[in-house]
Structure 1
Amino acid sequence: MAKRLFLLCASATALACSSAAAAEEGMWTFDNFPIAQANRDLGTNIDQTWLDRVRLASVRIGGASGGLVSREGLILTNEHVASGCVEDLSTQERNFVQTGFTPANRAGELRCPGMTAEVLTDISDVTQRMQAAGRGLSGEAFTRARDAEQARIEAEACGDDRSRRCQVVSLYRGGQFKLYTYRRYSDVRLAFAPEHRASAFGGDLDNFSFPRFAVDAAFVRIYENDRPVATPNHFRWNPAPPRENQPVFLSGSPGATQRLLTQDQLRTVAEVTLPLEQLINSELRGRLIQFAQASEENAFIAGQAISSVENTYKRGYGRQQALIDARFMAARQSAEEDFRRRVAANAELGAEIGDPWRDLSALQGEVRRLYPAYYLLETRAGGGSQLFNWAEDIVRGAQERPKPNADRLPEFGDARLPQVEQRLFAERPSYPTLDEVQLAWWLSKTREILTADDPRIRTLLGNESPEALARRLTSGTRLGDPAVRRQLWEGGLAAVQASDDPLIQFLLRIQEPTRAARSEYEGTVQAPTDRASEALARARFAIYGTSLYPDATGTLRLTYGRVKGWTHQGRTVPYATTFAGLWDRATGAEPFDLAPRLAAARERIPADTVLDVAASTDTIGGSSGSPAVNAAGEIIGANFDSTVLTQRNAYGYDPEVNRSVLVTTAAVTAALQHAYGMNHLLQELGVSGQRPARRR
């Protein structure tokens, strides 16, 4: 127990204790990966050349991950990462969600609307420029100065080169700023996906759990000039099953962690922000399920939206359990107290940074006051409606683009406009009936939480009910047509203001309250939080040096650990599952019904083929699709899940229960060969004609 508490202490404030983190702990940036430490912990012999190869074979796909696995642009990721593409390419009559997408050859690969793939090519330090931009400023002036400098740096680095993406990212909560440069591919095509039932076997009941029995894998391919991209940097496909205790590395783009928050900040998460988000998600889930149950068409339309909100809600549930775990929170408290004592013992450092803990504590009242409006009117505005999101991009883009680049909202800076235009012009299907449900829910919850007496509610609703307004906006808009969206975007502010589209007019009407909520939150909360967090970062660097990892920020990271099970509350969980376990778990009743093509291949797939494994690697949301790599740099699987207990990973790493869940290349090979007949992909992967490797 003492060892475990210490490791939690170490993770809670990024090595805030007196020794290094646990072997498996850390979402490390590629420019600060502890090669020697990893080799000592795992008994491996990786080097910088190995690290560079892994980086150049790793891919960011939207908010998730993937790995290049051939010389011709083929990428392994998860089916649930590619599911948006699968749904966009499907109709009720040709439903690839139900049948799987299994083209006979490369000519049958179809373009994924709006999908991009990015490979990290360079990391450079821009800390001095970013910190200097805000020096001596406060409130909104601080935020605007930082945003302006970020826009200048990104524009200088990428210019109008649409084949690259330049992104300034904050690390260590403002302690460092790095410019990440990516090679960007905007033509991404679906090459293979199993039935969704194969990748999501067990449904929400099995989600965030282990043992798992899912073939959650898919392939996409990057193209340029209508030809597959040559990708000499790729992972060699290894169809052998992972062994227990085998070292494994995961390279992906984890979304966000909050390990560097102070205890006062974390109490606000526990008492205000997370409960609000859970309340919102639970009701949306109910409304979407009710909508889906009304007809087969609705079930088809709402499938991805339901999966997304269920995933978000269950992740939040796991985090709530961590925040009420007395042992876990006591370890974090102990870590913070130790850190503060070390700072207090250094008079020069204390004089330099002041008391950032006090400053952050004083801000929490403002967070509690302002967060509900900021969340509902800005970050969650529209309730997930695709039509609303398109309208917001068009309206805000029209308002922002005439401004100097440095004066715009960051998301409309010159370096980021290609991403906006790609998602705006993508020829995706539109489902107004689903948008109506999402908009009505958002409007009703915003009125309920902000109250009907809030003047902003009158601006949102006018004299209409949430339901009537949502119905009018979604039935009258023409934004489902990409040609209309393009015309408005290219026509600029004059065309937008002259438009009679009800959704465009609605977005124009609500700009004042939504922008005001954002501006007030950023000036009153975010700016002083950033300044205090920078001071804490300086203290960490002064005391612990640079041998620590930052919170996850959606940037490429490398984590390492071993393939292994665990014991919790007297129950021992083995490290692996097999197809035999899948056959045994299948009852025939949803959600434990086999995908038809897997069921048909039951006698052909060797029952002892390893299907999924657990690993002690340090992951979080966004790590989906991360290639699992052995010490030889070969791909042996792809991360697709973690456990409910692992969701505490947002706030600290617990080696006893933290586990990532991987689908193995052995399982993917068996499925491609015996269930889906994807012989051309097997040949490309170099395993054509081989029998699937079995458990040893």
Structure 2
Amino acid sequence: MPKIRPLFFTLSAATIAAAAAFAPAASAEEGMWTFDGFPTAKVKAEHGWAPDQKWLDRTRAAAVRLAGGCSASFVSPDGLILTNHHCVIGCLQDLSSADSDFVQNGFNAGDRLREKQCPGQQAEVVTSISDVTMDIKKAMGDAKGEALVKARDARISEIEASECPDRDKTRCQVVTLFGGGQYKLYQYRKYSDVRIAWAPEFNAAFFGGDPDNFNFPRYAMDGAFLRAYEGGKPASTPVHLKWNPRAPVDGEMTFVVGNPGSTQRGMTAAQRAFQREVALPDRLIQLSEFRGRLIEAMGTDPARLREGKDTLFGYENSFKALYGRMQALNNASFAAKLDASEADLKAKSAGKIDGDPWADIEQAVNAYRDFAKVEGQIDSSGGSALYGYARTLVRAAAEREKPNNERLPQYTESRLPLTEKRVLDPVPTYAWLEEMSLRFWLSKTREKLTTDHPDVQALLGKESPEGMAQRLVSGTKLADPAVRKALWDGGMEAIKASDDPLIQLALSQDARSRALRKQFEEVYEAPVTAAQAKLADARFAAYGDANYPDATFTLRISYGTVKGWRENGIDIPTRTVMGGTYDRATGAEPYVLAKAFAENEAKINKNATYDFVSTNDIIGGNSGSPVLDKEGTVIGAAFDGNIHSLGGNYGYDGELNRTVSVSTEAIQQGLEVLYPAPALVQELKGKK
């Protein structure tokens, strides 16, 4: 399931606050469960078997979170990591050149000496989870508004700093669960040197392209291998999952272990209305228009086709995912179920909670509506990597001058190393794409807010969007990592002395961006946090512990079965076979056979299971998650959901929602026949 990338109208404020909410009481096979809250008794009652603590501990210790927004797992004692191809496409793009297109042609290191480091990537493994709820609630006390947010964030930063003093190898993150009903401290072992080992051709990994995305049947080898390094050597990972290149069995239990990004299943009717009426339509319009401009700009220019492929892939995926959410919210039957769930909670909690949290949230949503459009446009990097660097450099310089507990959350000591890495690692940028992104953002900001709006006047002055974008990109030196490092190391003194036009723009916009953040915290985040904490208490009182928290890009486990579904009177099968690729190929994009498939048709096992579906409950961020059987062995890697799963952001339908995974049997064919990697084959067998 490709990650949804932040683009223009960010949705970040309202989405992040809502994402910390809570899901309805779980039905069968529903739920993205925390490892310290796995419903063992429920699973055993439904399936006659459930993992024991040893199984859960081993699996947790082998699960990996990737900094790019994906999931993964260790599958050998030498740091080998299984994930999706679309989770490494950014790395492949960054490492490619006109002479070596690793996106189009794939990458096969052959041996460890030729594995290449992925810029900006980091792998993390959870080592412990502890409850810090009472500590943080005590710090917040009776505070309200911005004071509540500052008190909460200050205590979180103190806990994260004190519990993980070794920032080279560890990272701490306090996670808000159940809308503030719980706070958990997640401690991670991190690996900052991550290298690409193996990835198939793009036409194999994404065969079917956008038309097949979020659909099934699928014929996609969306798998890849990374490796974690430490001290210049492959990391020692004695706890890892066993590779099992076999076909799944219909009806067998499956477990997906990963880091689902965010869900909003606990949204109130007022919050869903905001998404349906404001946030999603605005975002979809801009995504659609920019996608068209990007396709036109790429044209038939080979260089631009290569340079823009990853970006186009992200925009197309984002549009389809958000369009699916929009359809779900506009589906009368689905909406009625969500409304009924909310009504049931209201009835069960009547007289048991203080005040009216639903009314409090509605008031906050209405207040946010008044400035959401401004925040979405002004507090943005415009889709530009270079302006994103500038904003981070300016903000980091200011925040690093403050005590740790007074900083914005993104710049606390526990989070700063990854921020620094992603700013300073060498990543190629493309002037034509940067200029087009800034031009589009600036023109849309003027269009949406109007020429006379004070924020537009402050942003553009007398310049046109086209002229300003050209000036900014032609004048900046931020594409050079050495320039960025000098600004990072030089702090605010270097920032203020810089004549770089993007740095100057970020400096001029920083005060307004902070003011918008403060306004959001005051009128939305603080009252919603307080209201959701009350709703969390009400839900626990009404439904007991049959709850799981909304996704927060932290480690979760879901359980399900290998099972198809019935739609429009047709039974959708559980799997496809590799030979079906040849039947589906047309010779025209996106159904062009990958070169290796065309050349090895006589050698491939056409009956090998390619992709399969299961009832596991997942969402974006689960991309790359291992699919495990009861024995805890890896039989697949989750990479997508069917079209019905897009409504999974707001609720789960066990009859229709399906996870789509690539089987280990298919990846093994890739390793042995299509893109031979004998060293990896031996490593996965447990042999040196």
Q: TM-score, normalising length from structure 2? A: 0.95
1:331-389 deviation per Cα after TM superposition (whole angstroms, max 9, x unaligned) = 11111111111111xx3x23xx21101111222211211221222222xx122211111
Alignment of 1:358-397 (within 5 A): 358-378=359-379, 381-397=380-396
Q: Return the offset for 1:133.
A: 2.4
The question of whether the paired residues in 1 share the 8 Å contact of 2:26 and 2:546 is answered with no
Whether 1:492 aligns to 2:491 is yes
SS of 2:107's partner is coil
How big is the alpha-carbon RMSD for the aligned residues of Structure 1 and Structure 2?
Answer: 1.5
SS of 1:638's partner is strand
Task: For 2:362, give the aligned amino acid.
Answer: S
Q: Return the offset for 1:39.
A: 2.7
Which shifted more, 140-149 or 227-236? 140-149
Q: Return the offset for 1:161.
A: 2.3
SS of 2:437's partner is helix
Q: Which residue pairs with 2:269 in the alignment?
A: 263
SS of 1:429's partner is coil
Distance in 1 (CA, whole Å) between partners of 2:242 and 2:397 is 46
**Inter-CA distance 15–315: structure 2 relative to 1 (3 Å threshold):** closer
Distance in 2 (CA, whole Å) between partners of 1:44 and 1:583 is 39
Task: For 1:173, give the aligned amino acid.
Answer: G
SS of 2:61's partner is helix
SS of 2:57's partner is helix
Q: Return the offset for 1:132.
A: 2.3
Distance in 2 (CA, whole Å) between partners of 1:304 and 1:317 is 20
SS of 2:579's partner is helix
Alignment of 1:411-450 (within 5 A): 411-450=410-449
Whether 1:52 aligns to 2:51 is no
Q: Please, which of 180, 189, 213 is the counterpart of residue 186 of structure 2? A: 180
Q: Which residue pairs with 1:576 in the alignment?
A: 575
The question of whether the paired residues in 1 share the 8 Å contact of 2:442 and 2:465 is answered with yes
**Inter-CA distance 298–471: structure 2 relative to 1 (3 Å threshold):** same
Q: Which residue pairs with 2:234 in the alignment?
A: 228
Structure 1 residues not aligned, in runs of 5+: 1-12, 690-696
Whether 1:77 aligns to 2:76 is no
Whether 1:61 aligns to 2:66 is yes
Q: Which residue pairs with 1:506 in the alignment?
A: 505
SS of 1:415's partner is coil
Whether 1:398 aligns to 2:404 is no
The question of whether the paired residues in 2 share the 8 Å contact of 1:566 and 1:574 is answered with yes
Distance in 2 (CA, whole Å) between partners of 1:655 and 1:138 is 40
**Inter-CA distance 441–294: structure 2 relative to 1 (3 Å threshold):** farther
Q: Please, which of 109, 115, 125 is the counterpart of residue 115 of structure 2? A: 109
Q: Which residue pairs with 1:627 in the alignment?
A: 626
Distance in 2 (CA, whole Å) between partners of 1:44 and 1:82 is 35
1:608-654 deviation per Cα after TM superposition (whole angstroms, max 9, x unaligned) = 01000011000001010000000001000000011121110010000
Count, aligned residues: 667
Q: Please, which of 298, 319, 322 is the counterpart of residue 316 of structure 1? A: 322
Distance in 1 (CA, whole Å) between partners of 2:530 and 2:438 is 36
Q: Return the offset for 1:37.
A: 1.8
Alignment of 1:71-470 (within 5 A): 71-293=77-299, 295-344=301-350, 347=351, 349-350=352-353, 353-378=354-379, 381-470=380-469
Task: For 1:202, give the aligned amino acid.
Answer: G
Q: TM-score, normalising length from structure 1? A: 0.94
Task: For 2:42, give the aligned amino acid.
Answer: Q
Distance in 2 (CA, whole Å) between partners of 1:464 and 1:261 is 41
SS of 1:31's partner is helix
Distance in 1 (CA, whole Å) between partners of 2:395 and 2:23 is 42
Q: Please, which of 39, 42, 45 is the counterpart of residue 47 of structure 2? A: 42
SS of 2:267's partner is coil
The question of whether the paired residues in 2 share the 8 Å contact of 1:679 and 1:688 is answered with no
Q: Return the offset for 1:44.
A: 2.9
Distance in 2 (CA, whole Å) between partners of 1:373 and 1:514 is 10
Q: Which residue pairs with 1:555 in the alignment?
A: 554
Q: Which residue pairs with 1:643 in the alignment?
A: 642
Q: Please, which of 24, 29, 35 is the counterpart of residue 34 of structure 2? A: 29
1:46-99 deviation per Cα after TM superposition (whole angstroms, max 9, x unaligned) = 200000011011000121100111110001100000101111111011111121
Q: Return the offset for 1:287.
A: 1.8
Task: For 2:231, give the aligned amino acid.
Answer: N
Task: For 2:445, give the aligned amino acid.
Answer: T
SS of 2:662's partner is strand
Q: Return the offset for 1:571.
A: 2.4
Which shifted more, 269-278 or 199-208? 269-278
Q: Which residue pairs with 1:601 in the alignment?
A: 600
The question of whether the paired residues in 2 share the 8 Å contact of 1:598 and 1:671 is answered with no
The question of whether the paired residues in 2 share the 8 Å contact of 1:155 and 1:415 is answered with yes
Distance in 2 (CA, whole Å) between partners of 1:219 and 1:514 is 39
**Inter-CA distance 24–45: structure 2 relative to 1 (3 Å threshold):** closer
Q: Return the offset for 1:43.
A: 3.2
Distance in 1 (CA, whole Å) between partners of 2:356 and 2:663 is 49
Q: Return the offset for 1:14.
A: 6.0
Structure 2 residues not aligned, in runs of 5+: 1-20
SS of 2:550's partner is coil
Distance in 2 (CA, whole Å) between partners of 1:572 and 1:478 is 57
**Inter-CA distance 45–536: structure 2 relative to 1 (3 Å threshold):** closer
Q: Where in structure 1 do 4 or more consecutive aligned residues deviate above 6 Å? A: none
Task: For 1:402, give the aligned amino acid.
Answer: E
SS of 1:28's partner is coil
